[in-house]
Amino acid sequence: MAYTTIDDPSAYFQTALYTGNGGTLAVTNDGNSDMQPDWVWAKSRTQGNSHVFFDVVRTFAGDKEIQSNNTGAEGASDSAGYGYISAVGSDGFTAQAGSTAGDYTNVSSQNYVAWQWKAGTSFTNDASSTSIGTIDSAGSVNTDAGFSIISYTGTGSAATIAHGLGVIPKFYLIKNRTNARNWQSYHEPLGNQAYLRLNTTAAAATGAAIWNNTSPTSSVFSIGTSDFNAVNADGDNYIAYCFAEKQGYSKFGSYTGNGNADGTFVYTGFKPAWVMIKNTTTAGKHWVIHDNKRNTFNPTNKELVAQGSGEEVDDTRFDFLSNGLKIRDSASYVNTSGDIYIYIAFAENPFVTSTGVPATAR
């Protein structure tokens, strides 16, 4: 049996580094495969500006920006004078500058990173006709990569929503587009009563109503009515980014810290291209993000945090290995003894390809 069906992860995920020109800039990916992105997550590395999300379901336009580091509703970047992702192409995207110093995507001479995922197949579900879920949903789905972008409208009552993946998702993010509300995220290792807020440093919280005390299935995820309408206010519009694990390409798990600089080894089954880690036990800890383009050798040290607008900092955290990551830091963000951490990881190369070719170490 083949170890993985994804020999080239760059067909589904890529990181692009670029320097702004203060105008209109075409950014081209440099992976092995051409990839037209469907979700672009962009952040200035050299300015203290927000992380901004743009995706194909909400359309790539200035008035469709949402930010991981605050509660704001879907924004109007262009009318406010801020930069945005104005278009995507067969192997990249266009960054459009705004008119303010707080430009999110294309200030002249500023350095940026853009993380990009491929969905690509249009998806609609009429719940009353298909009897799948109780709320209609629509979006873009990639079952090969285990990724879907799903939009829906809340009802104010506990509900189920089709995600289109065909397998059980292990991780999803949900944001209210209509009103200023916290991000909510589901992580399979924490169970169906726990949630984390992407825009805060809070530890994992529990509440049976947030996911309606129900784990996702191969066809739907469940939402309740708690946490101030963050996932299901009547009439509010939402966007969900849903992920299922794919062997050799993506992994969504947890580990326990040991408090030692010779830390835990986390097996992913691939050489990581991108990793985000969050301490779920202790409050006040960042969502730390490292990738293989900003960190080209071990130990990794170029860090951004999803809940903060700060510029990139140097913090040694871990090594990217051919089959996982090795924690190299005793800091509480990644390795307090006894604390539980969740991680989200995507591959540069599978540990072994479908033809038996092994990944090489860095």
- pLDDT digits 0-9 by tens, 171-197: 999 999 999 999 999 999 999 999 999
Residue 80 has pLDDT above 80, yes or no: no
The structural domains of the chain, with segments of one domain joined by +, span 9-117, 121-243, 251-350
* DSSP conformational letter for 246: B
Among candidate residues 211, 124, 138, the one with its CA nearest the CA of residue 171 = 211
| 3-state DSSP percent of the chain in helix, strand and coil, to 5 | 5, 40, 55
In the chain, the largest separation of any two C-alpha atoms, in whole Å, equals 55
- Gap between the Cα atoms of 211 and 231, Å rounded: 9
pLDDT digits (tens, 9 = 90+) for 93-147: 999 998 776 789 999 999 999 999 999 999 999 999 999 999 999 999 999 999 9
DSSP output for 107-151: -TT-EEEEEEE---EEEEE-HHHH-S-SB-EEEEEETTTTEEEEE
What is the pLDDT confidence band of residue 2, given thresholds at 50, 70 and 90? Answer: low
What is the pLDDT confidence band of residue 208, given thresholds at 50, 70 and 90? Answer: confident
CA torsion sign for 286, 287, 293, 296 is positive
- Say which amino acid occupies 285: K
* Residues 95 and 20 sit within 8 Å (Cβ to Cβ): yes
> Of 57 and 356, which is predicted with more confidence?
57
* Residues 276 and 339 sit within 8 Å (Cβ to Cβ): no
- Specify the pLDDT at position 359: 79
- Say which amino acid occupies 38: D
| Sequence-ordered alpha helix ranges (H) in the chain | 127-130
C-alpha pair distances (Å), 118 with each of 147, 207, 273: 8, 32, 15
Cα 245 from chain centroid (whole Å)? 13
Burial class (CB in 10 A: 0-12, 13-18, 19+), 360: exposed
pLDDT digits (tens, 9 = 90+) for 261-314: 999 999 999 999 999 999 999 999 999 999 999 999 999 999 999 999 999 999
* Residues 95 and 85 sit within 8 Å (Cβ to Cβ): yes
Average per-residue pLDDT in the chain?
A: 94
> Of 359 and 269, which is predicted with more confidence?
269
pLDDT digits (tens, 9 = 90+) for 6-57: 999 999 999 999 999 999 999 999 999 999 999 999 999 999 999 999 999 9
**Residue 28 parent element (H or E):** strand 24-28
- Specify the pLDDT at position 1: 42
Average pLDDT over residues 59-87: 86
Residue 228 has pLDDT above 90, yes or no: no
- Gap between the Cα atoms of 25 and 100, Å rounded: 17
Produce one character per residue of 41-63: b if its CB has 16 or more CB atoms within 10 Å, e if not. bbbbbebebbbbbbbbbbebbbe
DSSP output for 203-228: PPEE-TTTTTT----SSEEEE-S-TT
- Specify the pLDDT at position 128: 97
Q: What is the pTM of this model?
A: 0.96
* DSSP conformational letter for 62: G
Pairing of strands 137-142, 121-125: antiparallel
